[in-house]
Amino acid sequence: MQRHLITSAIPYINGIKHLGNLVGSQLPADLFARYQRARGREVLFLCATDEHGTPAELAAAKAGKPVAEYCAEMHEVQSEIAKGFRLSFDHFGRSSSEANHKLTQHFAGRLADQGLIREVSETQMYSHADGRFLPDRYIEGTCPNCGFDSARGDQCDNCTKQLDPVDLINPHSTISGSTELEMRETKHLYLCQSQMKDQLEEWIDTREGWPVLTTSIAKKWLNDGDGLQDRGITRDLDWGVPVQKGDEPWPGMEGKVFYVWFDAPIEYIACGQEWVDAGKGTDWERWWRTDKGADDVTYTQFMGKDNVPFHTLSFPSTILGSAEPWKLVDYIKSFNYLNYDGGQFSTSRGRGVFMDQALEILPADYWRWWLLSHAPESSDSEFTWDNFQTSVNKDLADVLGNFASRVTKFCRSKFTEAVPEGGAYTERETRLIEELTAKVRDYEAQMEAIEVRKSAATLRAIWVLGNEYLQEVAPWSTIKEDPEMAAMQIRLGLNLIRLYAILSAPFIPDASAQLLTAMHSDTADWPEDVAAALEALPAGHAFTVPEVTFRKITDDERADWQERFAGVRT
């Protein structure tokens, strides 16, 4: 049996994420996990909240709560929203867990033993107004590379260039807004990534079929300018994983914590331990250690392009540098950005649709379908309300929902609420089955390759085949001359509904479950043989006419939502 370990980028704890965050990692990861489970494969799908570092401290301070309390509350909020979007995590963990503390300290000790951590006396930005050293993410300014005016002290989110706070133009404290900053001396630990360059490059070159976006970003960081740089892994903060070598104190590092980008990826592994501790699974090591059976696991990560450098270089430096048999990622599926209606999503300006707001408007499947069918794979994509309305109305309501409604209501009206008997296939049905089989095989190949938009387009094409067949054979006319022929056509149509529900489940799980329930189908086996799947519901099998599977979005709703989520334009 194939085994698939799947992780998506772990979201920061500081607030509810927007639709761009969702489609850039968690949602396509869920699509892939659901598909692999549907094919009968063993899956472990892990995610967590990223709870350390500047974003957590700032958000907690803004909320007027202790940071630990704030993180616990927001973990629950994000967990519930994930359930609302039907994200099928086997475990949704926390980077502040005891498991992650111990594992992070373990890796630090191993790296030190391998000579891959060095102590550096350096100058760091100090804020007089705040009375403290400012970690990189407490400092913002203008990027010297692209001119983006909200670049952070460690990286520009616009051009992805790695930065130091001193590189920023007009830097200021994100705590107080003060520009009264000076450089003072402090000591920190650095991960010697430069020593890992050749090993990392060799490893990346052995990864097969990675997206161009993933490899191009990794290669750029490896070879741009002076090449891969050593990177600080500690910070002067109170909230985080205390700096230790395993269980031993680290002399000179008292009061410091590990940098969030060091401990956050380690949470992927720790999350497996949390999964076992929560009583949801057993033997996490068979997923994560190659000496315990993980050598036959296929490990796939999903993330936005801004996370690629850390997952192709920094985290692998930790894993490889430890000289222990940990499972390395096999495939990184990276995504570009989803923009919002002519601009960017903005939390501060209230611009764009955030995950909790989306679920207040419409059920999860409406959003899942649009986001996945418009996933920003080859380039940035843009959410517009016109496009959203058109996609929902034409794809979901007119094609899939309308097919299920027409077939079931016609059968109830002209026969009964049971699959009718009589009639035999003609050349037209044989051709339909051949066309469906070819499309299903295409769909499978695209899903295996994680070609999200192509998979959605092929799934829609499968729905369309049924509609075209129904229009062509016109059972409402056939029944007048040949009731048995009409019965066969409708029997095939009812089985198509079941087939569509099974194939569509990774994209639109709620609608799939509704249609399977309406078809009184106790099984949802993957259609390895499409012809056989179209005979799964025999004559006499009862069904129920489903409620409206997808309703249409009205022009008034579209206009109202477009105005409501426009935010404050500047």
Co-location of 197 and 245 in the same domain: yes
- What pLDDT score was predicted for residue 1? 79
Q: Could you tell me the CATH number of the domain that includes residue 307?
A: 3.40.50.620
In whole angstroms, give the CA distance from residue 161 to residue 164.
10
Co-location of 358 and 386 in the same domain: no
For the segment 227-231, the average pLDDT, to the nearest whole number, is 86
Report yes or no: 9 and 303 within 8 Å, Cβ to Cβ.
Answer: yes
Please name which of 131, 299, 325 lies closest in space to residue 207, comparing C-alpha atoms.
Answer: 299
Co-location of 55 and 9 in the same domain: yes
pLDDT tens for each residue of 163-219 = 888 889 999 998 889 999 998 888 999 999 999 999 999 999 988 889 989 999 998
> Is the pLDDT confidence value at 269 over 60?
yes
- Total of domains in the chain: 3
> Is the pLDDT confidence value at 137 over 80?
no
> Is the pLDDT confidence value at 124 over 90?
no
Instruction: Please compute, for residue 206, the number of CA atoms within 13 A of its CA located in the half-sphere on the CB side.
Output: 9
pLDDT tens for each residue of 485-542 = 999 999 999 999 999 999 999 999 999 999 999 999 988 999 999 999 999 999 999 9
Co-location of 397 and 293 in the same domain: no
Please name which of 47, 27, 101, 100 lies closest in space to residue 364, comparing C-alpha atoms.
Answer: 27
> Minimum mean pLDDT among 153-157, 313-317, 392-396: which range?
153-157
> Is the pLDDT confidence value at 10 over 90?
yes
- What pLDDT score was predicted for residue 160? 83
> What residues make up the domain containing 460?
381-533
411 known ligand binder: no
- What pLDDT score was predicted for residue 226? 67
143 known ligand binder: yes
Q: Please tell me what DSSP assigns to residue 415.
A: S
Co-location of 439 and 358 in the same domain: no
Phi, psi of 242 (to 5 degrees): -60, 140
Co-location of 133 and 166 in the same domain: yes
Is 545 part of a structural domain of the chain?
Answer: no
Co-location of 207 and 269 in the same domain: no
159 known ligand binder: yes
> Is the pLDDT confidence value at 570 over 50?
no
Domain final residue, candidates 362, 393, 424: 362
pLDDT tens for each residue of 326-375 = 999 999 999 999 999 988 888 777 889 999 999 999 999 999 999 999 99
For the segment 75-86, the average pLDDT, to the nearest whole number, is 98
Is 348 part of a structural domain of the chain?
Answer: yes
Co-location of 94 and 120 in the same domain: no
